[in-house]
Amino acid sequence: MSLKFPSKEQWKRFFAVLSYKERVAFLSLSACFILSSIFLAGTFIASHTESQAASGGSYKEGIVGQQPRFINPLYLSDRDIDRDLVELIFSGLFKYNEQGEIIPDLASRYEIKEDGRVIEVYLKKNIFWHDGKPLEAADVVFTVTLLQDPQYQSPLRTKWLGVTVEEIPDNGVRLGLPKKYGGFLESLTLKILPRHIFKDIAPQNLPWSFSSPKYLIGSGPFKFKEIQQDSASGYVKEITLERNEKYYSSKPFLKKISFAFYKNPEDLLAAAGNKTIQGFSLSDLKDSPKIKGFAAYDIVIPRYFALFFNQNEQNNKNIANTEIKKALALAIDKEQIIQKIFSNKGEKESSPILPDFFNFNGPDAVFDYNPQEAAAILEKAGFTLNPASGLREKTIPDEKPFTFKKNLTYRNQGQDVTELQKCLAQFPDIYPAGEINGYFGDKTKEAVIKFQEKYSQDILAPSNLTNGNGEVKAGTREKLNEVCFTQTASSSPLEITITTSDRFPLPDIARLILKNWQDIGIKASVKEVPLAELQTDVLAKRNFEILLFGEALGAFPDPFPFWHSSQKNHPGLNIASYSSQKADALLEKSRETQDDSERQNTLEQFQNVLLKDMPAIFLVRPNYVYFLSDNIKGFEIKQITEPAKRFSTVEKWYVKIKRKWK
């Protein structure tokens, strides 16, 4: 027997026999039944399924000002967009995870041998370049060899000097280090180049710009698709990358990533407001008001800004005085820098090893803002405030035009005798003849005797003598130097020049420091130079008194490149030209150990040695702030070594979801 639903006519007859109230009650109960069924079904599905990221969707990021130029893993471009594209297109043996830790990428496994002097790395199977060719150990050897070739002038070359590299069975490479280095795995985040594309191209012809996109072949999660440019000006309007469908790791959920270029922050923020873009970052956070639908990710990064004192500077002796440096440090309001320039997105810094970032113990000496103490130190050092100018000045005795240092006796001649005669001639009662001929004769001897007897209490009495002997020796010289040459003095202001780049945020930081120093009477000025000049003139020639500059560490704490004495000459990064045997020994020890606790202890000792010498004043460690649309999920980066590394786990980002039965 089968069930049959009432026909339309039957429903009409059914409703015809019902009263108005009965019809309302029936419809209400029916609606409740339907809604309850939907609710129960939804609850059942929700409790028995889970939300998961799904393939599909795209992400567009806005970029202000910068235009892509060199998409080159061998070079450290000063453009963030270049580094971003390298991060997405290419891949390395190792990479960073969400916590900034180093993990295998192209590598399937690795072994550290011979007490840290040898590392063997084996590649994953079935890895392909974007053009479909297999990626092999030969590509790794080729990339390292290219990097080490001085013809390519890679700034990364210094990290690889003395490193040997060779293929080994099972698609592996063997790397031999000239010295033990516990942080060498971070060097292996180097992006690998395809040998089959670049092996026959001479260094001077190596193509890296978007004028030759056919050479932008990598093995990363995304590959180059297209570029949109203004036909008249050549201005790049948008770059699009598409998903690498043969990616060796988890295939990205996003199908496409693109970068749109804007000429000013106002245009970019307008695009964010109308949801044309889903992500952006700005160097000046004052330009980034809250935008509905966007979350701001405050990401810690191991970079800092500091004032570096030129240890070779000969013109300004004040910057060699540790007490003066201490006063300069105490006069700087670091909180003001963080608040006004970085919108409270950062931390005060007092050490080159970034203790807060690496969970180390802080230094013994910390110079927090204390202008009163700074002023007291300057007063003690002799720099007092001139009420008229409001500047701190130090009274310095002028050097005497001449000082008698030799014994002079009868019949001597020369310049010293001439100066003696000039001196005696100032006293007509002692040397009436006033003859100046450079010869110690009778008249000069007679005058010396009269001088000795005139100042007998100072010259003769200490030797129990009553009569002069006409010989110019210690006692007589001392009195001659006192009465013949008037001691004068001049005032010297405490004057300092900060040299820095003309790029934000350095000029803004410099101006705040300038104001802090001026408030306690220091005559300070700022010299801003273009980045190119900073590299070729200021840094290369160490041409500065005090340099305001930034430095960045990696995931592995290694301040060796910035402070070891072997790096104090260009192109070394020890820009303060700091030299200390004790600091050198600690830096070398921290590099060689494989033990994290020993490394930490060694670096904590190093920071205290360096801060006692004060070759620099450490200022602030700003965070990297990244704005993402609420629609973009899967972004879990907590700390990175540089802005481009925000894409290190881009394969986990998604915009679409699906439900899956548990």
Out of 112-126, 298-312, 383-397, 553-567, pick the least confident: 383-397
Residues of the chain above pLDDT 90, percent: 62
pLDDT over 90 (residue 74): no
Query: What DSSP string describes 256-296?
Result: EEEEEEESSHHHHHHHHHTTS-SEE--SSGGG----TTEEE
Q: Predicted confidence band at 316 (pLDDT cuts at 50, 70, 90)?
A: low
| Residue 326 CA, distance from chain mean position | 22
Q: What is the pLDDT of residue 203?
A: 77
Q: Predicted confidence band at 48 (pLDDT cuts at 50, 70, 90)?
A: low
β-strand pairing of 118-123 with 107-113 = antiparallel
End-to-end alpha-carbon separation of the chain, Å? 38
Q: Which domains does the chain have, with CATH numbers?
A: 58-300+624-661 (3.40.190.10), 303-394+494-622 (3.10.105.10), 415-487 (no CATH)
Q: Which of 544, 662, 560, 649 is nearest to 610 (CA)?
A: 560
Q: What is the pLDDT of residue 255?
A: 97
Where do we find the tokens 């548990």? 662
Q: Which of 102, 136, 103 is nearest to 122 (CA)?
A: 136
Q: In this predicted model, which residue has the larger pLDDT, 561 or 491?
A: 561
Interior/surface letters 468-482, b for 16+ CB within 10 angstroms, e for the rest: bbbbbeebbbebbbe
Q: What is the pLDDT of residue 355?
A: 95
pLDDT over 80 (residue 414): yes
Q: What is the pLDDT of residue 257?
A: 97
